[in-house]
Amino acid sequence: MRFRIAQCLCGPARHAILAMALGPETDDITDTEATSSLRAIIDALVDGRGDALAMALPPSLNPWCGLCGRHARDWVYEIRRSKPFTDWETAQRFLKECETDQAATKLLMDAIDESFDARVRNPGGSLQ
């Protein structure tokens, strides 16, 4: 089985801002609807209204890519198909592993001052 992934990317660098997997139960949702929903979620987070979403998301999101600094107005939204999986449970485990890996990479890049967020916090860091 393959599933759809609705994703917000920072633009040419394609750093993932937020993505949502569309499992088998969402086959009746069009790509346009899914992209619009993701855009509304991102807009709410950037506006600091994440608490109102009743989802497991932070209350707010900076209006820039934490890795490269690309502003939210330049972010792109798309739908892609996943690689094949034997079943939805296996796909969900893979997605959780990816999410964990990406969070660890972000923490590492922040720790060694190699991210835009690190530069915002520490203007004298190595990205000058």
pLDDT surpassing 50 at residue 90? yes
User: pTM for this one?
Assistant: 0.84
**Partners of 6 in the β-ladder:** 20, 79
* Strand 4-9 versus strand 76-81 pairing type: antiparallel
Instruction: Establish how many alpha carbons lie within 13 A of residue 48's alpha carbon, considering only the half-sphere containing its beta carbon.
Output: 0
State the pLDDT confidence band at 126, using cuts at 50, 70 and 90. Answer: low
pLDDT digits (tens, 9 = 90+) for 28-68: 999 999 999 999 999 999 999 988 887 888 889 999 999 89
